[in-house]
Amino acid sequence: MGSTGVRIAIDAMGGDRAPGEIVAGALRAREELGVDILLVGDPQQIEAVLPPKTNLTQVEIVPAEDAIAMDEEPLHAIRRKPKASINVSMSLVKQGKADAVISAGHSGAAMAAALLRLGRLPGIDRPAIGAVFPTLVASKQVLILDVGANVDCRPKFLEQFAIMGSVYSEFVLGIPQPKVGLLNIGEEDCKGNDAAVRTHQLLRENSQISFAGNAEGRDVLSGDFDVIVCDGFVGNVLLKFAEAVGSVMLQIIREELPQGVRGKVGAAILKPNLKRIKQRMDHAEHGGALLLGVDGICVISHGSSQAPSIFNAIRMAKEAVDNQVLQRIQSQYQSLQRESS
């Protein structure tokens, strides 16, 4: 497949399985999606995991002298290691040498590097991590944000998350007039703490979104909402719980299949169905979460990501670039500022 002109900087040293699985996923994306990849990290380690017949003229390796470990304090590490792979990757986007960045490394470090190197979009007070979840409705997904960037949120932050999520849901996920919900403990307008009540009022009065009311926990995966906003503390708990439920369900299905010949025959018959179940439930199929609100496309992948996850993360980044997510978010905020002035 020929190049699409989209250039993706990949933190090849980030993640539990770096650089092998990171590089493998990147090479697959180059082949199948036509993106140009920039592998950022230790050249010797990267070259050691490249397939024997790799044409090095078609793979750009950008040297980085260091990497940030998972147990390091993110902001301190980002400042102490200016030439770490995640910093170099972000700088490539800032300099216009790449259109997006992917990292499966320390998520806190990725967020810190994005804020320090790329900065926030005009009008955005806090960036948010948006994760895509499967729903009970076939082929329909729900975008949850924030799932970890901000532990405490003011109502106006959640309003901004709703606008950014709506833009992404409409122009990348292809959902016209996405329905926005506020995660809460009840459907009534008056439910929740003071911040929830004030946020509900802001969302209800915002003409740029289609606010559908409060979403209780049981509504998250119902398919009734396209975007659900919450603070990063609750969102991260929700994300980790959903990942665990998906893994548990897949394990239960495997264990409950009959043993012996009957089990093998049954598994063979059900194989296409089981594959579709895995695709809907496995977080690896979604690749990662988009960091919305910074001045650049940044996808944060799971620390245990393998090649398929990295491939899907690159696909997610490419879709965000192709659909001009940054420009559309900026346009929405400029429109909002004109309306309020």
pLDDT band, residue 205 (cuts 50/70/90): very high
What pLDDT does residue 71 have?
Answer: 86
Q: What single letter denotes the amino acid at residue 216?
A: E
Does 330 map to a domain?
A: no
- 25 and 75 assigned to the same domain: yes
- 132 and 281 assigned to the same domain: yes
Least Cα distance to 112 among 140, 136, 80 occurs for 80
pLDDT band, residue 330 (cuts 50/70/90): confident
Whole-number Å distance between alpha carbons of 102 and 90? 9
- 244 and 275 assigned to the same domain: yes
Question: Which tokens sit at 322?
Answer: 């192709």
Tally the residues of the chain: 341
pLDDT band, residue 283 (cuts 50/70/90): low
Is it the case that residue 274 has pLDDT exceeding 60? no
pLDDT band, residue 108 (cuts 50/70/90): confident
Interval 119-161: pLDDT, tens:
998 888 999 999 888 888 877 889 999 998 888 899 999 999 9
Does 334 map to a domain?
A: no
What pLDDT does residue 275 have?
Answer: 61
- 277 and 306 assigned to the same domain: no
Contact in structure between 291 and 86 (CB atoms under 8 Å): no
pTM of the model: 0.85
Does 13 map to a domain?
A: yes
Give the per-residue SS3 of the chain.
CCCCCCEEEEECCCCCCCCHHHHHHHHHHHHHHCCEEEEEECHHHHHHHCCCCCCCCCCEEEECCECCCCCCCHHHHHHHCCCEHHHHHHHHHHCCCCCEEEECCCHHHHHHHHHHHHCECCCCCCCEEEEEEECCCCCCEEEEECCCCCCCCCHHHHHHHHHHHHHHHHHCCCCCCCEEEEECCCCCCCCCCHHHHHHHHHHHHCCCCEEEEEECHHHCCCCCCCEEECCHHHHHHHHHHHHHHHHHHHHHHHHHCCCHHHHHHHHHHHHHHHHHHHHHHCHHHCCCEEEECECCEEEECCCCCCHHHHHHHHHHHHHHHHCCHHHHHHHHHHHHHHHHC
pLDDT band, residue 281 (cuts 50/70/90): low
Tell me which of 285 and 180 has the higher pLDDT: 180
Is the four-CA dihedral 175, 178, 181, 182 of positive or negative sign? positive
Cβ atoms within 10 Å of 174's Cβ, excluding its own = 10
Number of domains in the chain: 2
The percent of residues in the chain predicted with pLDDT above 70, rounded, is 86
What pLDDT does residue 248 have?
Answer: 77
pLDDT band, residue 192 (cuts 50/70/90): confident
**Which residues are within 8 A (CB) of 239 and not within 5 positions of it... i.e. 6 or more apart?**
131, 144, 147, 148
Least Cα distance to 310 among 91, 16, 56 occurs for 16
What pLDDT does residue 339 have?
Answer: 64
Q: Phi/psi of residue 185, each to 5°?
A: -95, 5
Give CA 216 to chain center in angstroms: 23
Give the range of the structural domain holding residue 74, as residue numbers without chain letter. 1-124+293-323
Find residue 83's DSSP bridge partners. Answer: none
Interval 239-249: pLDDT, tens:
888 877 777 77
- 142 and 281 assigned to the same domain: yes
Per the prediction, the chain carries an average pLDDT of 86
Does 339 map to a domain?
A: no
Is it the case that residue 231 has pLDDT exceeding 90? yes
What pLDDT does residue 265 have?
Answer: 66
The percent of residues in the chain predicted with pLDDT above 90, rounded, is 55
Q: Which of 238, 261, 285 is the last residue of a domain?
A: 285
What pLDDT does residue 334 have?
Answer: 72
Mean pLDDT of 206-219: 93
- 207 and 79 assigned to the same domain: no
Whole-number Å distance between alpha carbons of 197 and 214? 10
Whole-number Å distance between alpha carbons of 12 and 9? 9
- 265 and 303 assigned to the same domain: no
Tell me which of 97 and 284 has the higher pLDDT: 97
- 180 and 62 assigned to the same domain: no
- 87 and 114 assigned to the same domain: yes
Q: β-strand 128-134 against 289-292: which pairing, if any?
A: antiparallel
CATH code (residue 102): 3.40.718.10
